[in-house]
Each structure stands twice: as structure tokens, then as C-alpha cells.
Structure 1
């Protein structure tokens, strides 16, 4: 059972747990619009047709579900495919007449997502972790006021304890411990090519060591420095359950 008063993000911030090197490492992402509520296991518990749920569960890549912050449903089903590149991600997009049309569809035929148009994915799945919902939803609503087409709530970016957490595409820049009061400025900085200090977890699609190296070099450190992953403290990582897991921290030598 979870403890009703425990907040994993408060505990992590209170311990000053490092966030650097914790961005998602997945190199292939599939983002599928699925309005409505999501369960703790969002891919299994959503309002998509059963045949689509089964198809997504069988894919050998990371799948995120998306919904609009205001709860509205689009005309058609928005789908994005993101493939890691040295600079971030190559993003392709399409809008399906119905979700079932995703099955058998070749992403190579999809249009490239417009250059200069950001996608902001804010983790908000409260059934999986209450910190994501409590902190993430106000952030998503705020970003949608400036980027209505590019802002989405998403199911799980990893690292509940770093809420509010956000993945920006196509840059891959992943932010953590983001508050609503700083979200707009932080996202504008990402669009300028900056890595907001104190908030940047790393660039997704890369190994943790490489994420740390980029931040180290961007801060003026030597590109020849050795970045070493070492075991960190065992800690509870979610509000959703009481399990404890080992963590990884990175040393610059």
C-alpha cells in the first residue's frame, strides 16, 4: 500500500538527489493520442480499441499515450514517431481517421514534423504517481496557452520523483523539478538551444553517461573528462508503491 501523505518528488528534492543523467534513454518513441482517463498501466487501461492496445503492447519500442491538457478530443488520432539522432530526435507525424489505422502503417511515409514547432510532453498520469498529476497538470495547462498544438499530457517519462518532468521534441531535452512558475521561461530557453541550469535531466535518446558529458561540457568542463556511473542510494522512487530500488549517480573525474 502507498502512504497517502508521501510525495516522492518532495523526498527526492529534500535529499538533493542529482537529476543529471536521468532523461529517458529510448532511441525509438511512438506517441499515440488516447483521450480520456489512463490506468496505472496506461497501455493496457485506456479507451483505445482493444486491437490497438494489443498492437501497442506488442511493439518493441517505447510507447507514450497523449491527451490534450483541456481534455478535448481531436478530429482524428494524432500519432508521432521519434527516432534519436546526434542532435536530438527526427520526428514524423500523421493524423489517422481512426486509431485502428495505426496497425500496419509505415512511419517512413509520415510527414516530417514542422521545423521550429516544438512538442512538449508533460507527464501527468496520476494513477501511476500522484506527483506527476499534482505538479504536471498545471504545467501542461500553462504551456498549452502558448503552444496549443504542441503541448500534450503524456503517460510516463520515467523519474516520477523528478516531477514536474517534461520531454521536449525534437531536441530531446528533458526537464525535471519544473514548477509552473518557471515552465514558460524554461521551455523558451530550450527553444533557444539552452539547457536550463538546475532543471535539465539530460538529452533523451542517449546513455546517462553521454547526457552528463554534454551538460558538463556545456558548463565549461573538459570534453576529455571521464564520466563514471556508480551505484547511488537505494530509495523509494514513486508515490504509487512502497518498493525501493537502487539508483545511479554520475561522477566526473
Structure 2
């Protein structure tokens, strides 16, 4: 059997163009976690970032315990590698209105074991860390997990870190490889996708002045997928795109209650209800996936103000 020439070989599958071609909705795909621990690690990142790292075994065990308790644990690094002595650690606690970010510089990664990680997992508070007064921009660049994250994420990390050097970190996993380049910004907790270098800076400028960049939004982290979709839907219907204009009150069985600013009023608020249903669509969800797997997306079936 003859081998086709290289020019005739099929191009390697890339999940981001595939998702675009399918017109897959992005909203509803932001991380749903409300607690995060970010640990600086400038070494090589594997597919399972913490487990594959060269961190001390007792540190890996502690981080695995946090993950098991529902904390989203990520490794982070400056674009281009470590830029300071010591190891930076951050915690994030997402609330309905914002997020509390705290940080510290550890002399060595093993100092992490002296912190009360068990209390943090239970309460979201880790003593020994100070409030982080800047924004925190996390850009997923882990090519060992998905090639699109590296190919599309690194140019975005370069552009964002050039504009906001103290606020920007590469991170190991934000989910949704097929929406690369993807970025999560705190304290807004807005997750963005399908970014390039120019649109990433533009979208973060919108967040910086207090607006939700709806065209690039995957939703607000810390909410369920259905609640993320409902929140963005009400924003699009009302034009209320300032951060905090539309708040999620609760979600139950696909019905999301929200509180929105009343148009043209000073301080008045209107309650909304949005019905959302989930749909499973088979997709290749990452560059390395050969089989199609069910991916969840959401459809708004009813929406309107209450009363």
C-alpha cells in the first residue's frame, strides 16, 4: 500500500476550530467552583499538573486533599517563568457579588504545609495570607493537557502580561479546551473564551471599567452552568452589562431566580425567572480526544420579570 504524500495527510484535529465550526455555545462553561488555591510552579506541566510535577510528595498529598474537598487547585507561573525569589500562593473565595483574593510569598513550597489548609477547604479562609489588591488574570497554557491551550493561550498570556504584568499568570487548567484561548479574571470571576491577543486585552479593559464582555463570556465562575446562562441571557435582554447589575439568587430544577436593576431607575430592582434546560451533544472535547463524548450546553426556554 502506498503512503499518501505529506500534503495529502489529514490535518491534525484541533478542538477550538472544531467547536467554532459547530457554533458550540460558550456560555455556561465557566468553572463552577467557588474556592481556588493557586500555587506558583515554574517547572514543566504535565497532563495531570500536580500529580506529574516534581513538588514534594507531602505537598502533592496536601493539594490532593484540597481537590477532594472541592477546592480547585491550579499551578500558576509568570509568562516566561519565575520572576521572583520564593513561591507565590493565592486563595480565592467566590461570592455571589465578587471574589475575595488573598496571597502570600512563601520562602519555600513546603511552607504551604504549615498553613491551615483544612480550615480553608471548609471556610474559604486561609490565615497567613493578605488581601490581594490587584486583579488576577489566569490564562490557561497547559499544552500537555491540550494543544489548543498552548498554541492559542501563550500569545494571549504574552499580550495580557505585557499590559498587566503584576496581575497575569499562566495556569494549568480552566476546562473547556475547545474555547481556547481561555482566561479567568478575579475578582469579577468572569471566564472568557475564544480569545486572541487583541480581544483578550480589549475584554479585560471592559472588566477593568466594570463591564461584562458578553461577546467573549463563558459565564461567571462559581455559578452552575444553568445560572451562568440565565445571568448572561438577562443581561442581553436588558442591556444591563455592568458587573453586579444582574445577580443570581438561586437555581432549582432548571429555574433560575435573578435580581436585576430596573431600567431608568435609581436603585430599584426587578426579580426575573429564567427557565433553562440542558442538552447533551456528542463532541470531540479536546485535541487528544478521538471518541465523541457528551458535552453539556444549555437552552433558555422561558424568561421574564416576576410580577
In the superposition, the TM-score normalised over structure 1's length comes to 0.93
Q: In the alignment, what sits opposite 1:7?
A: 14
Q: Give runs of aligned pairs for residues 108-147 of structure 1, distance below 5 A.
A: 108-114=127-133, 117-147=134-164
Q: In the alignment, what sits opposite 2:280?
A: 232
Q: In the alignment, what sits opposite 2:233?
A: 216
SS of 2:237's equivalent in the other structure is: coil
Structure 1 segments, 4+ long, off by >4 Å, are none
CA contact (8 A) 1:32 1:66 kept: yes
Higher relative contact order (CA 8 A, sep 6+): 1
C-alpha separation in 1, matches of 2:47 and 2:14:
17
C-alpha separation in 2, matches of 1:20 and 1:192:
21
Instruction: State the 1:53 CA deviation.
Output: 1.6
Instruction: State the 1:229 CA deviation.
Output: 2.7
Instruction: State the 1:109 CA deviation.
Output: 3.3
Instruction: Report how many aligned residue pairs link the two structures.
Output: 249
Q: In the alignment, what sits opposite 1:80?
A: 90
Q: Give runs of aligned pairs for residues 61-72 of structure 1, distance below 5 A.
A: 61-72=71-82
Q: In the alignment, what sits opposite 2:42?
A: 35
SS of 2:214's equivalent in the other structure is: coil
> Where does the alignment leave 5 or more consecutive residues of structure 1 unmatched?
none
Moved more, 232-241 or 3-12: 3-12
CA contact (8 A) 2:230 2:276 kept: no
Larger radius of gyration: 2
Of 21, 26, 29, which aligns to 1:22?
29
Output the aligned Cα RMSD.
1.6
SS of 2:104's equivalent in the other structure is: strand
